[in-house]
Amino acid sequence: MSTKNIEEKQYLLRFKCDTKSHLTVLDHDVCMTQCPEKFCTVFCPAEVYKWEGKRMQVGYEGCHECGSCRIGCPYQNIKWEYPKGGHGIVFRLA
Amino acid sequence: MSEKFDVIVVGAGPAGTSCAFVCAKNGLNVLLIERGEYPGSKNVMGGVLYRKQMEELIPEFWKEAPLERPVIEQRFWMMDKESVVQFGYKGLEWGQEPYNNFTVLRAQFDQWFARKAVETGALLINETVVTECIVENGKVIGVRTDRPDGEVYADVVVLADGVNSLLGKQLGFHKEFRPDEVALTVMEVVNLPKEKINDRFNLEENQGCTVEIFGDSTKGNLGTAFLYTNKDSLNIGVGTTLSSMIKAKLKPYDLLDYLKTHPMVKPYLEGGESAEYLAHLIPEGGYRSVPKVAGNGVVVVGDAAQLVNAIHREGSNMAMSSGKMAAEAIIEAKKDDNYSEASLNRYKDALYGSFIMKDLEKYKDAAHIFEKHPQYLRDYVPMMNRAASKFFTVDGTSKREKQKEVLKSVTDERGTFKVLKDIYRAWKAVK
Ligand SMILES: Cc1cc2nc3c(=O)[nH]c(=O)nc-3n(C[C@H](O)[C@H](O)[C@H](O)COP(=O)(O)OP(=O)(O)OC[C@H]3O[C@@H](n4cnc5c(N)ncnc54)[C@H](O)[C@@H]3O)c2cc1C
Ligand code: SF4
Ligand code: SF4
């Protein structure tokens, strides 16, 4: 079977997007100066985080709400909440 | 408003719904709050639902629940790059009543189960996030939600809010979990016609197969992969501890694609169509990570209490059992109208006396040891494959001679003493 890259995988999903992000990078300077690995951009299963040279772009709309970035950011630099009730990802199958 | 219930359950996964079901069945006034559009819309599972714990709640549930296939065969693969050592068990007794376990798709199963709780008398409210517990004089007396005017009160609040367990953390029952206490797992549901599935897995109508895959499925990192059969689809997934993922700089979806295109796995998926991609954490800290589970006016059940046996991929059953035990403690507490921690510790006592804590205790060192000593998955699985290849290749060497060679090659690679130590350590961890 054909594998799908992450954009194509994300297309398989249904999201009911909130207008407000439930994820906030608290201090972009911490990412810039203390976190050369930019861990969240690697392990996030939905490629929500993209480093843009000076700041972290947060594509919260595609978040699976797994919680990995809250636990995995070594600097506790991510404020993590649930999207508003009924919003965010809607799994239809498993 | 200040509506008051006997019990508020936060989270309509297997833990919360079980608790709500048992409470409602015993005449308690129950509010079940779920943040998703419907129960299951936020939940992910590889798919094995155990018959025993479900049957204790709803006898003969298999006659009406949305199940995929009864599992009649469980395979275990020790996989290397171009080979695999396999073992397993297939038994037709698992294909008939009372069955052993089933594959399920959670979005459907959770909705059905929550409906059963509602039919029993629980009130279900979807699309509502509980933002915090309302605490008064050191006692939880209700919850605050993200609805306008969203405060609700109860004698007992049940935290069944899953692995992220933000509410337990708020109450100070546990600290933030560490990256080595959770496994990040990604999976895909791959549609494939029933006949193809039956042919490839050697199954007949209404028979299912599970494959657990160790070794190269995680590139030797601490974790496992799985391949399960549904009616007209396969669930394929892989996960490692978040700490291993971080250390190895792995992207989870790359690991999933590595698995899907692995020469040992690919033929099973050929021609399939991806239907959904899902990511979720599994609490894998085990015995030592279990937080405080009862306080004044509050209990914690399921993933929120880290009740998962990672070695045996049991989670949903522990969630259900803990939900049921919590309900039974609440029903007792109501009899003398005492919801203090001391009274609700009935739940804690039941939990610690049950198979759940006994099993977690048994394996309390396993994950830690495998994390600290990566050789088990990284070195021994390939070694097993080479040994099997050597042993089964017919090349004119006598079997006795081969056995010697195999043993020698293992001890040569790691040194006799090291191998013995590794074996002893692993045995102690799982004995
Ligand atoms: C990939 C994967 C494979 C797995 N495979 C298996 C398997 O094969 N067999 C098995 O037995 N177990 C398996 N597990 C584990 C199993 O899925 C869990 O142990 C089980 O779902 C735990 O049930 P729960 O009710 O405690 O939590 P969940 O099922 O996570 O339910 C928690 C519920 O609470 C809701 N919620 C959370 N916070 C709030 C809030 N603040 N307000 C309102 N609602 C809230 C959530 O939306 C969710 O519905 C697997 C897990 C994963 C991730
Ligand atoms: S892991 Fe944390 S500190 Fe590092 S880039 Fe991401 S948000 Fe910034
Ligand atoms: S919660 Fe999971 S999916 Fe969402 S941004 Fe964090 S790591 Fe990515």
Domain segments of chain B: what residues?
4-68+104-177+289-352, 180-283, 367-430
- A31 in ligand 2 pocket by Cβ < 6 Å? yes
Closest-CA distance of chain B to residue A65, Å:
8
For the cut 90, the answer to whether the pLDDT of residue B378 exceeds it is no
Q: Which of B188, B193, B15, B26 is nearest to A10 (CA)?
A: B188
Model-wide pTM > 0.90: yes
Is the domain defined by B180-283 classed in CATH 3.30.9.90?
Answer: yes
Candidate from A70, A92, A94 with C-beta closest to B45: A94
- A32 in ligand 2 pocket by Cβ < 6 Å? no
Q: Which of B108, B256, B131, B251 is nearest to A91 (CA)?
A: B108
Hey, do B4-68+104-177+289-352 and B180-283 end up sharing a CATH topology, with the first three levels equal? no
For the cut 50, the answer to whether the pLDDT of residue A20 exceeds it is yes
Mind listing the pLDDT tens digit for each residue in A64-89? 999 999 999 999 999 999 999 999 99
- Which pLDDT score, from 0 to 100, does residue B1 have? 43
Alpha carbon distances (Å) from B243 to B169, B182, B216, B310: 20, 8, 18, 15
- Which pLDDT score, from 0 to 100, does residue A1 have? 66
For the cut 60, the answer to whether the pLDDT of residue B29 exceeds it is yes
Ligand 3 pocket mutation, candidates A58, A60, A63, A79, criterion most atoms within 8 A of CB: A63
Cα-Cα end-to-end distance for chain B:
55
> What's the CA gap between B20 and B39, in Å, rounded?
13
Token pair in block for residue B285: 């800290």
> What's the CA gap between A53 and A41, in Å, rounded?
13
Per DSSP, which regions of B290-337 are E strands?
294-295, 298-300
- A78 in ligand 3 pocket by Cβ < 6 Å? no
- Which pLDDT score, from 0 to 100, does residue B212 have? 96
- Which pLDDT score, from 0 to 100, does residue B164 have? 97
- Which pLDDT score, from 0 to 100, does residue B2 have? 57
* Nearest ligand 3 atom, CA A68: 7
Pick the residue of A71, A77, A89 with the most B CBs within 10 A to test the interface with B by mutation: A71
Looking at the CA of A59, which ligand is closest?
3
Closest-CA distance of chain B to residue A42, Å:
5
Structural contact between residues B44 and B110, judged by C-beta atoms closer than 8 angstroms = no
Name the percent of chain B lying above pLDDT 90. 82
Buried b (16+ CB within 10 A) or exposed e, B286-300: bbebbbbbbbbbbbb
Q: Which of B152, B259, B163 is nearest to B212 (CA)?
A: B259
B260: chain A residues, CB-CB within 8 Å: 1, 3
Structural contact between residues B47 and B192, judged by C-beta atoms closer than 8 angstroms = no
- A59 in ligand 3 pocket by Cβ < 6 Å? no
**CB of B154 within 8 Å of any CB in chain A?**
no
Ligand 3 pocket mutation, candidates A23, A43, A60, criterion most atoms within 8 A of CB: A23
- Which pLDDT score, from 0 to 100, does residue B94 have? 97
Range B4-68+104-177+289-352: architecture per CATH: 3-Layer(bba) Sandwich (3.50)
For the cut 90, the answer to whether the pLDDT of residue B157 exceeds it is yes
Task: Say which range, A23-27, B42-46, B195-199, B376-380, has the weakest mean pLDDT.
Answer: B376-380
Say yes or no for a CB contact (<8 Å) between B182 and A68.
Answer: yes
Mind listing the pLDDT tens digit for each residue in B72-116? 999 999 999 999 999 999 999 999 999 999 999 999 999 999 999
Say yes or no for a CB contact (<8 Å) between A45 and B128.
Answer: no
Token pair in block for residue A57: 């772009």
Q: Which of B194, B212, B204 is nearest to B89 (CA)?
A: B212
For the cut 90, the answer to whether the pLDDT of residue B311 exceeds it is no
Say yes or no for a CB contact (<8 Å) between B252 and A43.
Answer: yes
Mean pLDDT over residues B142-167, rounded? Answer: 96
Structural contact between residues B52 and B164, judged by C-beta atoms closer than 8 angstroms = no
DSSP state of B305: G
**CB of A10 within 8 Å of any CB in chain B?**
yes
Structural contact between residues B31 and B12, judged by C-beta atoms closer than 8 angstroms = no
Token pair in block for residue B352: 């610690």
Name the percent of chain B lying above pLDDT 70. 100
* Nearest ligand 1 atom, CA B280: 53
Extract long-range pairs of B222-226: CB within 8 Å, 24+ residues apart. Answer: B222/B367, B222/B370, B222/B371, B222/B374, B222/B377, B223/B183, B223/B185, B224/B313, B225/B259, B226/B46, B226/B187, B226/B313
- A58 in ligand 2 pocket by Cβ < 6 Å? no
Structural contact between residues B103 and B52, judged by C-beta atoms closer than 8 angstroms = no
Closest-CA distance of chain B to residue A30, Å:
18
> Helix, strand or coil for residue B3?
coil
Token pair in block for residue B32: 């079940």
- Which pLDDT score, from 0 to 100, does residue A2 have? 64
Mind listing the pLDDT tens digit for each residue in B108-141? 999 999 999 999 999 999 999 999 999 999 999 9
Extract long-range pairs of B26-31: CB within 8 Å, 24+ residues apart. Answer: B26/B327, B26/B331, B27/B121, B28/B330, B28/B331, B28/B334, B29/B5, B30/B5, B30/B6, B30/B117, B30/B121, B30/B122, B30/B123, B31/B5, B31/B7, B31/B122, B31/B123, B31/B125, B31/B152, B31/B154
Mind listing the pLDDT tens digit for each residue in B176-205? 999 999 999 999 999 999 999 999 999 999
Mean pLDDT over residues B327-342, rounded? Answer: 97
How far is ligand 2, taken at its centre, from the CA of residue A45, in Å? Answer: 15
How far is ligand 1, taken at its centre, from the CA of residue B160, in Å? Answer: 9
Q: What residue owns the CA closest to ligand 3's atom 2?
A: A66
> What's the CA gap between B57 and B68, in Å, rounded?
19
Which is it for the CA torsion B246, B250, B253, B258, positive or negative? negative
Query: If you classify domain A21-82 with CATH, what class do you get?
Result: alpha beta
Write down the ipTM of this complex.
0.97
Structural contact between residues B89 and B74, judged by C-beta atoms closer than 8 angstroms = yes
